[in-house]
Chain A
Amino acid sequence: MQVAVDVPKCVASGQCVQIAPEVFDQRDDDGMVVLLDEAPPPAEHDSVHEAALVCPAAAFLVTA
């Protein structure tokens, strides 16, 4: 699985961080999304898919 984030789209809802804290974080100065792991391990795949579904800004892309 590959994850890419489009930071300017992020509205800092915090949803991805709460769902997959191993994969996503928020930048300290403005709360924008930070990708911690571009190729998360299988144990994280379900939460990454869920985070992609709920992100209000469609700010990240998940491929295979």
Chain B
Amino acid sequence: MKADVPVLSMTREPEAPLDPPSQYGGFRREAPITRISLGPGAPTAWLVTRWEDARAVLANPATSTDLSRPGYPSRTPMSMPPGFFLFQDNPIHDVFRKVLTREFMVKRIEALREATARIFDGLMDELVVHRPVADLVEAVALPLPSLVISELLGVPYEDHVFFQEHSKVLIDNTVTGAQKAAAQGALGDYLETLVERRRKEPRDDLITRLGQQVDAGTFTTRDAADVGAFLLFAGHETTANMIGLGVLALLEHPDQLPRLYAGKAELATAIEELLRYLTIAQSGLARVAIEDFTVDETTIQAGDGLIIMLNSANRDEAIFSATADELDLGRANARQHVAFGYGIHQCLGQPLARMELQVVLPELFRRLPNLRVADRQEVIYKPHAAAYGPALLPVTW
């Protein structure tokens, strides 16, 4: 029996749905790198809870994201296609990431700002028809990022509804595994056909450029389609959760709302602080050591699993001061958060996520200054999802 290994719990205090479980603060102070169990019968792993250690581990080339390696800290071992390059180590990871870095460059993403504002306006025009109560998740938070990703990939406008409907199923917890698999298959086939079509009729879009890599022999059509699916997977529910939680955090701190309108730099800082404070990647980032290494005087051995708890690191008093647990939209060093991870896998979509949040949050409160959670309605959260956020956010205005 391995006694004394605490079980990692993702359960938050019911009265503090926007704060990480209080268990993490205790680890951070008493045992910043400690063995934990992932649950009854599940493997044990190192839990890393401090900001500095989190960055050190995530930047260490002796760690791997390969789900199929023995020791990878997961309850359900599986493997992922190469196009899901977050789960690939180098050199394969870089083959995919380097093809995409151009697409997510700050100036290219800026060029999507107007289209994003237009998509948002369209969704809002539909939402207000549903007065007095609408679910903000269904009406805005979920459709917006999937429509923006369609735009980025170059999914033809007439296919947006198809794309949207199937991507919704992928992240719906009320559908069966078979329905999910069917949606995934349909999207994969669709993207494969689109890649083939763009190889014959090129356009100025991401799918065309993936197609050119197929022509150049960098990867297969299937890989190209997988990359498209992975971008949707990585950028859809994540952004949706940040929109939903961002709204809830702002509703709790109405005194800070003016910071969203104080200027470009102030808005950017406010969004960084929301990313820090809310850190949606609530189950942390998983890694497995491929060589022995030392972090903060603890020796990690090859084959050991690690869970890097981002929402703890982002509340670390050592870097964010005694006010780390408070929301302060003017926090000077908010941007040092690790909500997008760190090291070679740091979020590729971060310029896009930032831009979407910078468009949506101020505009939402400008259009609906009386926005609030609807009376006698309850916000429903996703307590066990890898990416935390509201499943249902009934609002009125």
User: Are the chains A and B members of one assembly?
Assistant: yes
User: Which A residues are closer than 8 A to B by beta carbons?
Assistant: 11-15, 17-19, 26, 28-32, 50, 53-54, 56-58
Choose from B59, B105, B106 the contact partner of A58 (Cβ within 8 Å). B59
Main secondary structure of the interface of A (DSSP, over half): loop
Closest A residue to B107 by CB, please name it.
Answer: A26
**How many Å from the CB of A46 to the closest CB on chain B?**
10
Which residue of chain B has the shortest Cβ distance to A53 in the bound complex?
B336
Closest 4 CB pairs of A and B: A12-B101, A31-B101, A56-B346, A31-B105
Which one of A11, A19, A56 lies within 8 Å of B97 (CB-CB)? A11
Interface residues of B, dominant DSSP: helix
Additional A-B contact list (13), CB under 8 Å, known A14-B109, A57-B346: A11-B97, A11-B343, A12-B97, A12-B104, A14-B106, A17-B106, A18-B351, A28-B102, A31-B105, A50-B333, A50-B336, A56-B341, A57-B343
- How far apart sit A33 and B342, CA to CA, in the bound complex (Å)? 17
Q: Is the CB of B106 within 8 A of A30?
A: no
Q: Which residue, of B59, B105, B351, has the highest number of chain A Cβ atoms within 10 A?
A: B105
Let me know if B2 is at the binding interface, CB within 8 A. no
A13 and B268 contact, Cβ closer than 8 Å, known pairs A31-B105, A56-B59:
no
Among the listed B106, B107, B333, B346, which residue makes an inter-chain contact with A11, where contact means beta carbons less than 8 Å apart? Answer: B346
Q: Which residues of B contact A11 (CB under 8 A)?
A: 97, 101, 343-344, 346
Q: Is the CB of B350 within 8 A of A13?
A: yes
A22 to chain B, nearest CB (A): 13
Total A-B pairs in contact (CB under 8 Å)?
A: 61
| 25 A–B contacts from the bound complex (CB under 8 Å) | A11-B101, A11-B346, A12-B97, A12-B101, A12-B105, A13-B347, A13-B348, A14-B106, A18-B351, A18-B354, A19-B335, A26-B106, A28-B102, A31-B102, A31-B104, A31-B105, A50-B335, A50-B336, A54-B335, A56-B341, A56-B343, A56-B346, A57-B343, A57-B344, A57-B346
Chain B: residues with CB nearer than 8 A to chain A? 59, 97-98, 101-102, 104-107, 109, 268, 333, 335-336, 340-344, 346-348, 350-351, 354
Contact partner of B101 (CB less than 8 A), chosen from A18, A32, A50, A58, is A32
- Determine the chain B residues whose CB is within 8 A of the CB of A54 once the complex forms: 335-336
The residues of B that contact A14 with a CB separation of less than 8 Å are 104-106, 109, 350-351
Q: Nearest chain A CB to B254's CB is how many angstroms away?
A: 28
Q: How far is the CA of A27 from the CA of B131 in the complex (A)?
A: 47
Q: Which residues of B contact A32 (CB under 8 A)?
A: 101
A57, B59: Cα distance in complex, Å: 7
B370–chain A nearest beta-carbon distance, Å: 33
CA distance A15 to B348 in the complex (A): 11
Q: When A54-B336, A56-B341, A56-B342 are in contact, do A18 and B106 touch as well, CB less than 8 Å?
A: yes
Of the candidates B97, B106, B109, B351, the one having the most CB atoms from chain A within 10 angstroms of its own CB is B106
Minimum CB–CB distance for B110 against chain A, Å = 10
Q: Measured between C-beta atoms, what is the minimum distance from A34 to chain B in Å? A: 11
A12: B residues at CB distance < 8 A:
97, 101-102, 104-105, 348
> How far is B104's CA from A15's CA once the two chains are assembled, in angstroms?
12
